[in-house]
Amino acid sequence: MGFDNIAPPSETDSSTANTPPSSVAEDPLYALDPLNDFFAPSPSSSSVPWPNSTFIIRCLSSGHVLTLLNGKVQLASPGSQASIHWRCVETKGWLGFRNVTSGKFLGYGEHGNLRCVADKQQDWENFCVRLRPDGGYILLVTEWERLWHVGIKVVRGIEKLAKVGEGGSDGVVWEFVKV
């Protein structure tokens, strides 16, 4: 059977039928299109860490923020008296985070614990920030030719932010809130 037997419409119907929005059928294939989510706004408040921007760096699991309090880097509640603003800078392609109040750079010391004492960004103050497929970012620091996660280690019963290992999933998941 061919299309030869189909007659063209003899009359054109130019009438209009107003349909209320609640009766319009939703396209069942719309939900299956992966690009629909791509163009939708993200529910996260995280921004992309970028040089010359200032951020509050928040731990996603606890909601605590990266702070400098009495010279020590720690996680604390957002309402604490600690300094919570970190200026992102770039040196030789590496990101660095300078505490806005102290002017010192976030980095790590001999035992791998995070600290904020350097006047300029050098090897122990170099960071790589990597986006996770499930959301959030991991912070990585350089250790010779390797990158180590920034996470939490327990020393004598006390939790400390530190470089905790290369690869794997030992690192803390962070979000960057641009201020």
* Residues 128-145: tens digit of each pLDDT: 999 999 999 999 999 888
- Which are the contacts of 102, defined by CB distance < 8 A and separation ≥ 6? 68, 83, 116
Q: What is the pTM of this model?
A: 0.74
Q: What is the pLDDT of residues 52-96, one digit of tens each?
A: 999 999 999 999 999 999 999 999 998 888 999 999 999 999 999
Strand partners, 152: 161
C-alpha to C-alpha distance for 157 and 175, rounded to whole angstroms: 26
- The domains of the chain, with CATH numbers, are 53-178 (2.80.10.50)
Q: CB atoms < 10 A from the CB of 65, how many?
A: 24
What value does the mean pLDDT take over residues 113-127?
97
